[in-house]
Structure 1
Amino acid sequence: MGFYDEFDAKPKRTSAQWLASVIIAALVGSGSTLLLVPTMLKANLIKLPEQSQTVISNGNGPVQGVTYNVNSDIVQAVNRAKPAVVTVVNLQKVDSFFSQKDEQPVGKGSGVLIDKQGHIVTNNHVVDGASDVEVVINDEHVKAKVLGTDRLTDLAVLQVPIDKIKDIQPIEFGSSDALQIGEPAIAIGNPLGEFEKTVTVGVISAKNRKIPVEDPTGRVTYEQTVLQTDAAINPGNSGGALVNIKGQLIGINSAKIAKSGVEGLGFAIPIDEAKPIINQLMTKGKVVRAALGVGLGLDVRDIPENYRAGLTIDYGVVVSAVQPGGPADKAGIQKGDVIAKIDNVKINTFLDLRKYLFSKQPGDTVQVTIYRNSQEKTVSVTLGELK
């Protein structure tokens, strides 16, 4: 039988196999024979697994230790990436006992040094509302300049003086697009703002997940594409590094599902999607996006049927206001119009509209199909810049 569960089916042992059995039995049966281990290792009669192990005693006192170096791929990846991960401190002015505004730390997150010019990437929510930002480098609190932030993608870029990071090797960029489901993922950050450079290990659980981004009213205005990982990501890890087995940056840790009974659901912004945002924040201090110059009301599908009098379509977005002198105003779009298509692409919701506009640049011309008083009309609009 295949599993050799019958004695007479077991293959006969060779003399060499019997000798090996005797040696192992002797080692197990007598603690004194541990003295033979170093000699047998050198003679390749026995082998140890590739992990750290030390023999420290034979029961009668210390004996010669057997040690060997553990230098796995994960250890090497961590050693390459960890020096570039820093703590980011959000300082805000708060009322003191004497009714004065004192600057105090209100939160801590993580950041990643990406070049020798002192640029550090973190999350927008890590520095949001800060009057000042500090970065902890080699136990020193260093003032950082906020070069730019972007709420929609939850990214921010800081800069610290070059002399403060001269001895730190910036992290190397990898590719999030090239990732495979199931390959190792290593998160490095400062959970709870206290445990600096904590390392957690998992896998890439999924790619191209979508997390809704809401405005202050709770309306979903954007969808952030993220990587999903089961590497532990906790408060304070935000803005830290998610790296691959080569120690290359593949994502910026951003969020986790904080719900009772839910574990292993962490999310990171893919580095291939983050790079163009990072570059704009570094060079322009903001992300330039196209806009129609309209205030958008309800999605048509969210309007109760008994209030849809006069509407001949069951999709689209109602215009709630028009910016005076803006692109839509110049094209003749009015309050109450329903935007149904752009460049013949169907617009079901506000999110559809925003996604399409964000694929364009200010100055681009698009064809907008609207419905007004049950009449279809298409107008040409030269896009402006989202403020």
Structure 2
Amino acid sequence: MSLFDDDFYSSRVSRRKSRWLQEDARQSKVLRSKSNWSTMRVAVLSSTISAAAAALIFGTLFYHGGGSSDKAVPTASAVTATQTADPYEKTITAAAKVRPMVVSVINEQYGVSGFDGSLDSDSGAMEDQLQQAGIGSGVIFEKEDGKALVVTNYHVIAGAERVQVAMIDGTSRVATIVGSDQITDLAVLQIDDDGIGEVAEFGDSSKLRNGEWVMAIGSPLGLDDSLTMGIISKTTRVIPVSLNQDGNYDWEQEVIQIDASINQGNSGGPLIDLDGHVVGINSMKIADLGVEGVGFAIPIDNAKPVIDSLIKYGVVKRPYLGVYTLDLDQYLAQQALTKPKDSLDSPQTGVDGSIVVPDSSNGGDAETSDAVIDDSGIIIPDDVKDGVIVLEAVGPAQEAGLQFNDLIVKLDKTPIGSTMELRKYLYDHKKIGDSIEITYYRDGEKQTAKLKLSEKSKDDD
């Protein structure tokens, strides 16, 4: 038995076929010779006809798009091009699209001193001469009315007396600082747009995926127009940052972690995807012995509103409380290092050196009799483990009555354990003009104050 029951698909000669051959024998020899085909020839002919019919039907449907007559058939050359395109060409195309818009940003200052703190006398540098203090990168993203705008990092232009922008063709021009923001580490510069053609296009960093290929363009170590490539190691990473570079973390930066090489001078340059869109601003790396391939970029979605604010106002407008603070845990750590080992067994002393004896006349109030009094006059209740100490109160805080050595423990109903938490609560949950309630301890007694948040001016920095 064949694989098919239907005689049409079988290679055997059926009874009907046998009868047809017997009847055909009565016909003339001429006709018989024309129709006396072998089984193989019949099979070949059937296969050819079937294939032609299938090709005709498929071609008709494909050409008309299943009934739609306005769709053209893709040519063979187009299909071949799609199938044989080199995927690595995308990196070359994307880089070529953005590289002309990437610039070197040169920070110039007066009397730049050497590593030992002395002036560089060998080069004849004088205190009244501008010298290169640092170099970073930037990218041109907007052009209008004869001016072009460049985004870079705040730390690239910090302290600059003059900023120079070096173009890819080797020419340079003086830049004006439109605005800068230390918190987000972003700055916007303005230059003349002479000779500048296209500008970089911002992408969508929210669509990035772990493992996606990206490229960093900039001037690492002063080597302009350098390109490095890697993948997205983590689309969202929160990194603690010391804004004043004093080793104390007072802000958290949301960044993209990448393994593309980031070196000194890459800061401020663009991180691009394989479509040539800017998806981040390269900002920092972990520079530690044995650490490689851990770099960070500011997501462009986070940078856009900051850039817009810098263009419009020159600053990022944020609510201002008006306190300079020290974290309680940092203060206690400092006290532990400076106090003698036997201080726990010695009586507590006040600011004037007199012995402080807990007052029992108040009925054993826990906030005073159980408080720790140190030699700076701060009284810290035993049940208070976190907070920030006011070093100076100005503006709204001063008007609300806050003083030196007040210990802030809450903003509204939210516990505050560090300067970072205080700043993030203000910037993430409050606006200029909002009211806020502050809970704090003064001389071991809990108090509250209410105030209205104002706008921080440049004079308040």
- Quickly name the TM-score band, shorter chain normalised: 0.7 to 0.9
Runs of 4+ in 1 over 4 A off after TM superposition: 48-51, 304-307
Q: How does 1:209-224 map to 2 (within 5 A)?
A: 209-215=238-244, 217-224=246-253
Using the alignment, how far apart are the partners of 2:233 and 2:187 within structure 1? Answer: 25
Partner of 1:193: 222
Deviation of 1:353 after TM superposition, in Å, equals 0.4
Using the alignment, how far apart are the partners of 2:137 and 2:231 within structure 1? Answer: 21
Q: How does 1:271-290 map to 2 (within 5 A)?
A: 271-290=300-319
Do residues 319 (structure 1) and 390 (structure 2) align?
A: yes
Q: How does 1:1-387 map to 2 (within 5 A)?
A: 50-51=85-86, 72-94=89-111, 97=124, 99=126, 101-117=128-144, 118-137=148-167, 138-165=169-196, 167=197, 169-194=198-223, 196-206=224-234, 207-215=236-244, 217-300=246-329, 302-303=331-332, 308-309=372-373, 310-312=379-381, 313-323=384-394, 326-359=395-428, 360-386=430-456, 387=460
Q: What code does the residue aligned with 2:140 have? A: L
Which has the larger helix fraction? 2
Listed one character per residue, the Cα deviations across residues 213-268 of structure 1 (whole Å, up to 9, x for unaligned) are 23254432222221110011111111100012221111111111222321101111
Deviation of 1:285 after TM superposition, in Å, equals 1.5
Deviation of 1:189 after TM superposition, in Å, equals 1.0
Q: What code does the residue aligned with 1:110 have? A: S
Listed one character per residue, the Cα deviations across residues 243-297 of structure 1 (whole Å, up to 9, x for unaligned) are 1222111111111122232110111111111122212221222222222112213
Using the alignment, how far apart are the partners of 1:352 and 1:71 within structure 2? Answer: 45
8 Å Cα contact 2:103-2:166 kept in structure 1: yes
Change in CA separation of 1:362 and 1:198 when aligned onto 2, cut-off 3 Å: same
Q: CA RMSD in A?
A: 2.7
Listed one character per residue, the Cα deviations across residues 180-213 of structure 1 (whole Å, up to 9, x for unaligned) are 111111111111112x221111111112231412
Change in CA separation of 1:297 and 1:92 when aligned onto 2, cut-off 3 Å: closer
**TM-score, length-scaled by structure 2:** 0.64
The DSSP-based 3-state class of the residue aligned with 2:303 is: helix
Using the alignment, how far apart are the partners of 1:257 and 1:98 within structure 2? Answer: 33
8 Å Cα contact 1:301-1:315 kept in structure 2: no
Q: What code does the residue aligned with 1:259 have? A: D
8 Å Cα contact 2:256-2:298 kept in structure 1: yes
Gaps of 5+ in 2: 1-76, 78-82, 112-118, 337-343, 345-370, 374-378
8 Å Cα contact 1:301-1:314 kept in structure 2: no
Change in CA separation of 1:299 and 1:177 when aligned onto 2, cut-off 3 Å: farther
8 Å Cα contact 1:213-1:224 kept in structure 2: no
Q: Which moved more, 1:347-356 or 1:335-344?
A: 335-344
8 Å Cα contact 2:238-2:252 kept in structure 1: no
Q: Which moved more, 1:76-85 or 1:228-237?
A: 76-85
8 Å Cα contact 1:300-1:318 kept in structure 2: no
Listed one character per residue, the Cα deviations across residues 323-362 of structure 1 (whole Å, up to 9, x for unaligned) are 2xx2122223233222111121111111100111122222
8 Å Cα contact 1:299-1:350 kept in structure 2: no
Gaps of 5+ in 1: 1-41, 43-47, 52-69
Matched residues, percent identical? 40
Q: What code does the residue aligned with 2:150 have? A: I
Larger of the two Rg values belongs to structure: 2
Which has the larger strand fraction? 1
